[in-house]
Structures are given as structure tokens and as C-alpha cells.
């Protein structure tokens, strides 16, 4: 089996690649990644050096490169797994164009290439396409929830999902989709909530909570996302959307306090800072259909334990994140004010 993994040098893509190489010896993995600021060359360096993974540094909007890579996928089970995207909401607010480029034009380019070669595609998306929920809403997002994206990031992800669905219906493209909740784990960029707070504490800086911290996110360990994607590749039905989540809802405030506790700084050893404009209040995924139909279940459901492993990973891999930390914090400092 041959897989072409787009965005495989980023956070979730690289974890997917690492697990695949470790657990599926019969799978040949090629990664295409344009190595934006979000990709760290060190992330896949060991796998590339041993030849376990082929890394092609190119943009998914480059139709010529895409054609040559997708044309190699000639087996019935071969597939493209599409992680590549601009992924950070805060960046999408300050500069939306790269999001339109990678998330919409990139997905369009990939769809046309897969259509031309009749190649299977799995499209990775997010729960943010559904907008947000009230804190006390008993409902969670399901496959039927209407799309109502709030930010330029989630609007471009919603657009890409719509393109994939149209290519399935109009051209018979063999595609599946998945919408997952907030991931955490190793190799996540330090611009994101959990690694930012962990590395702030490791660096002697104060963690930063947007607004009051009442916003709720539904956390899943990245390895559980990977196992769900494999369940879809193995047993998913063409044209279907699968929701992926691990019932890990927490307010940002609770999560911040947990990180502070685990890292031995006072529970209130953080700053409240300027809130994100248009900040979605709550995400929550109902993954029951994915669990029932694919026999998938998340394994790393103890968030405290998962956080401890993640803290340990960032403590042990300073050389991975330190080179970019200063730049990320300088960027935040330009707009962030302590409340
Ligand atoms: P990330 O920003 O860490 O990685 C994205 C990767 O895509 C980077 O390596 C980047 O260089 C690459 N990339 C971006 N534009 C590209 C282009 N035009 N051509 C080639 N490569 C390009 O993001 P992530 O958190 O790993 O997210 C991966 C996917 O999962 C995204 O599609 C995202 O929308 C989705 N997702 C993320 C989460 C989350 O919590 N992080 C949750 C649900 C879904
Ligand atoms: O310093 C911070 N302080 C803070 O309070 C940062 C960086 C974030 N936050 C808040 C904003 C959110 O409510 O924490 C929450 C999580 O923020 P992010 O890590 O930026 O994630 P989010 O905006 O929820 O989006 C993530 O989950 C869905 C991913 O980045 C997306 O790619 C994915 O689609």
C-alpha cells in the first residue's frame, strides 16, 4: 500500500506518519509538505534519513508536482491522506490569504489530481466548521449539524469540505472526510494553546489565557486521531463524513490550572490577556456513529495523564521548540495586553 500524506511534516500529519511507519510495515509513505513556518525540519529528519519516509518539499497547489506524486498511486488501496492546511486561528485573523491559498486552492488542486487518476482521498477537517455551541447546550456536533464557521480559518476548512463533498457527488471521487476536535500531544507548534503554556513555564514566562478562559475545547490525544484515521482508511465508506472526538471537554481556565498544577507553578500563576476576536465559545463532538460503525474507540482518554506525557515531551525536546519560541512570543506580544 502506498500513501501520499500532505502536510506530513506538521503536528498531526507527522504523528500519523510516525505511527504508520512503526505499526504498518507494508505501507510506503511519501510526504508532500511546503515546509511553512508550521513545519519543523527536525520533525521527520530521522525517518527521512533512514529512508522510511520520502519527503517532497513542494506546495500542494503545484499541479505538476501533485500530478507526478498522485500518478504513482496505482493500487486499489493506495490513498492520499490530506492534512496540509494553514491551521492557526490567530494567524487567520491577522492574515487570511495563506488560508485561502492552502486550504481552498490546495484542496481544489488535490481534488482535480485525484479525479484525473481515480485515486482515493481522505480529507482531514475540523469540528470548527460547525461554529460554536452555548456552554449549557445539551447537543454536541453530529454529522448532520449545519456548517456555520466563524473565523477565516474555519471558513476555509468548511469550503474545502464542501469541495470534497461536491467532487464525490459530481465526479464519483472516492473520498472520505473526518472532522476532529482539538488535538494535543508531541510535535505541536508552540503557537497553540497547550504547547504555548507548557513552553512558557519551561522558559520562565507566565502562561497566557485569553479573556476569562470560559471557552470550552474538546481535547483528544493525537494518537487517537491517528487510530481513527486508520479505521476510516481500513473500513470507511466512500462519501461519508466521520466525526472524531474523545469526550474531552474542558474550559480553558480548568486546563490552564491543570497545566500549572502539573508543572508545579501556582494554580493562578498565569495572566489573563486580550481575548481572540470572534472567539468560539464551545466545541463538542458526538463521535458515537464513528465508534459504532467503525469499531473505533479512543484509548488515551485520561487528559491529565496525556498532559503529563506532553509536558515530559516538551521538557525533553527543548532543541525542537526553542529555536522558534522567541519569534512566536514576540508576535503575540505585539497585540496581546494583560487584562
Ligand atoms: P500544522 O499547522 O501543524 O501542520 C500543517 C502542515 O501543512 C505543515 O507542515 C505545513 O507546512 C503544511 N502546509 C501548509 N500549507 C501547505 C501547502 N500549501 N502545501 C504543502 N504543505 C502545506 O497543522 P495540524 O495541527 O497538524 O493540522 C493538520 C490538519 O488537521 C489540518 O488540516 C487541520 O485543519 C486539521 N485539524 C487540526 C486540529 C488540531 O487540533 N490541530 C483539529 C482538527 C483538524
Ligand atoms: O495563548 C493562548 N491562550 C488561550 O487562551 C492560545 C494560543 C489560545 N488560547 C485559547 C483559544 C482557544 O479557546 O485556547 C483555546 C485553544 O486555542 P488554539 O490552540 O489556538 O486552538 P483552536 O483555536 O481551538 O483551534 C485548534 O483546534 C481545532 C486548532 O488550532 C485547529 O487547527 C483545529 O481545527
Query: By C-alpha distance, which of 36, 49, 171 is closest to 112?
Result: 171
Question: Which ligand is nearest to the Cα of residue 99, counting in written order?
Answer: 1
pLDDT surpassing 90 at residue 267: no
Tell me the pairing of strands 249-251 and 216-221: antiparallel
d(CA 193, CA 210): 10
Of 7, 84, 89, 209, the residue with max ligand 2 atoms within 8 A of its CB, to mutate for a pocket test, comes to 89
Q: How far is the CA of 330 from the centre of ligand 2 (A)?
A: 18
pLDDT above 90 for 99? yes
Catalytic choice (153, 242, 283, 314): 153
User: Cβ contacts of residue 51 below 8 Å, gap of 6+?
Assistant: none
Establish whether 224 is a catalytic residue. Answer: no
Q: Return the closest-CA partner of residue 189 out of 34, 12, 31, 312.
A: 12
Catalytic annotation on 153?
yes
**Please, which pLDDT band fits residue 295 given cuts at 50, 70 and 90?**
very high
- First CA to last CA across the chain, in angstroms? 53
Ligand 2 centroid from CA 193, angstroms: 5
- For ligand 2, atom 16, name the residue with the nearest CA: 193
Reduced to 3 states (helix: H, G, I; strand: E, B; else coil), residue 217 is: strand
Q: Is 182 in the pocket of ligand 2 (CB under 6 A)?
A: yes
Pocket of ligand 1 (CB under 6 A): 7, 9-13, 32-36, 38-39, 59-61, 83-87, 102, 106, 124, 126, 157, 180, 182-183, 189
pLDDT band for position 283 (50/70/90)?
very high
In the predicted model, is pLDDT for residue 268 greater than 90?
no
Task: Give pLDDT tens digits for 14-54.
Answer: 999 999 999 999 999 999 999 999 999 999 999 999 999 99
For ligand 1, mutation pick of 87, 102, 280 (most atoms within 8 Å of CB): 87
> Cell 488535490 identifies what position?
110
User: Tell me, what's the pLDDT at 277?
Assistant: 96
The C-alpha cell 496540509 sits at 84
Q: For ligand 2, is residue 209 a contact (CB within 6 Å)?
A: yes
> What number does the ligand 2 atom closest to the CA of 279 have?
13
pLDDT at 311: 98
List 78, 112, 128, 223, catalytic entry:
128
Nearest-CA residue for ligand 1 atom 41 is 183
Please give the average per-residue pLDDT across 226-248, as a whole number: 98
> By the 8 A CB rule, do 256 and 207 touch?
yes
pLDDT, averaged across the chain: 98
177 and 125 in contact (C-beta within 8 Å)? yes
Distances (CA, A) of 46 to 16, 18, 32, 54: 15, 10, 16, 11
Q: Give the 3-state secondary structure of residue 76.
A: coil
Confidence of residue 187 (pLDDT cuts 50, 70, 90): very high
Banded pLDDT at 231 (limits 50, 70, 90): very high
| Number of the ligand 1 atom closest to the C-alpha atom of 188 | 3
Q: Which ligand is nearest to the CA of 191?
A: 2
So what's the pLDDT on residue 224?
98
Cell of 241: 463524513
In this prediction the pTM is 0.99
Count the neighbouring beta carbons within 10 Å of the beta carbon of residue 324. 16
Amino acid at each position: 500500500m502506498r500513501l501520499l500524506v500532505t502536510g506530513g511534516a506538521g503536528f498531526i500529519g507527522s504523528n500519523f506518519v510516525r505511527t504508520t511507519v512503526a505499526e504498518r510495515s507494508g505501507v510506503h509513505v511519501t510526504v508532500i509538505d511546503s515546509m511553512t513556518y508550521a513545519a519543523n525540519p527536525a520533525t521527520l529528519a530521522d525517518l527521512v534519513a533512514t529512508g522510511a519516509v520520502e519527503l517532497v518539499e513542494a506546495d500542494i497547489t503545484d499541479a505538476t508536482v501533485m500530478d507526478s506524486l498522485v500518478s504513482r498511486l496505482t493500487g486499489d488501496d493506495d490513498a492520499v491522506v490530506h492534512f496540509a492546511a494553514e491551521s492557526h486561528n490567530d494567524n487567520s485573523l491577522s492574515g487570511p490569504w495563506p488560508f485561502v491559498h492552502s486550504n481552498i486552492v490546495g484542496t481544489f488542486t488535490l481534488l482535480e489530481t485525484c479525479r484525473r487518476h481515480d485515486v482515493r482521498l481522505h480529507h482531514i477537517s475540523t469540528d470548527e466548521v460547525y461554529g460554536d455551541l452555548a456552554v449549557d447546550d445539551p447537543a454536541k456536533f453530529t454529522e448532520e449539524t449545519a456548517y456555520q464557521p466563524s473565523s477565516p480559518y474555519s471558513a476555509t476548512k468548511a469550503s474545502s469540505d464542501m469541495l470534497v463533498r461536491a467532487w464525490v457527488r459530481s465526479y464519483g471521487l472516492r473520498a472520505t472526510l473526518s472532522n476532529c476536535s482539538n488535538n494535543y500531544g508531541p510535535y505541536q507548534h508552540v503557537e497553540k494553546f497547550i504547547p504555548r503554556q507548557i513552553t512558557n513555564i519551561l522558559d520562565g514566562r507566565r502562561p497566557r489565557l485569553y479573556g476569562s478562559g470560559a471557552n470550552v475545547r474538546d481535547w483528544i490525544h493525537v494518537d487517537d486521531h491517528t487510530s481513527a484515521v486508520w479505521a476510516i482508511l481500513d473500513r470507511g465508506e466512500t462519501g461519508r463524513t466521520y466525526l472524531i472526538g474523545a469526550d474531552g471537554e474542558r474550559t480553558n481556565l480548568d486546563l490552564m490550572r491543570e497545566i500549572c498544577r502539573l508543572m508545579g507553578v501556582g494554580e493562578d500563576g498565569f495572566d489573563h490577556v486580550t481575548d481572540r476576536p470572534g472567539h468560539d465559545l464551545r466545541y463538542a463532538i458526538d463521535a458515537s456513529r464513528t465508534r459504532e460503525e467503525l469499531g473505533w474507540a479512543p484509548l488515551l482518554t485520561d487528559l491529565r495523564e496525556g498532559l503529563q506525557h506532553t509536558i515530559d515531551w516538551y521538557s525533553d525536546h527543548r532543541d525542537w521548540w526553542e529555536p522558534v519560541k522567541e519569534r512566536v512570543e514576540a508576535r503575540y506580544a505585539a497585540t496581546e495586553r494583560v487584562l
